[in-house]
Amino acid sequence: MKHKVFQLHCLIRRAGKTAHHHADLIFIDDKPYVVIEWLSGPGIDIPDVKVPLDPKHLQKISSPGIDYMYEYPIEDPRPLH
């Protein structure tokens, strides 16, 4: 399934550290998700690691290159290597 991809400015928390981040934002059944990692290959782009977002903290903005801003830190669910 092909998703429309928006650009998101957010805070990502990983290993106890929080940093500003530009990420991809998609909507699945009208629910917002930040895509942390894509599974890409010939003819495929699948959101492999995604985190659901609370719409209360999602704000549409009009800034060059950014479509939305998320006002709450997002925990990166990927394991540390």
Q: What is the pLDDT along the chain (81 residues), one digit of tens a residue?
A: 678 999 999 999 998 899 999 999 999 999 999 999 998 888 788 899 999 999 999 999 988 999 999 999 999 998 877
pTM score, whole prediction: 0.89
Q: How far out from the chain centre does Cα 59 lie?
A: 13
* The amino acid at 49: V
Query: Is residue 42 classed exposed, middle or buried when 0-12, 13-18 and 19+ CB atoms within 10 A define those classes?
Result: exposed
37: in domain:
yes
* The amino acid at 30: D
Query: Is residue 7 classed exposed, middle or buried when 0-12, 13-18 and 19+ CB atoms within 10 A define those classes?
Result: middle
79: in domain:
no
Number of domains in the chain: 1
18: in domain:
yes
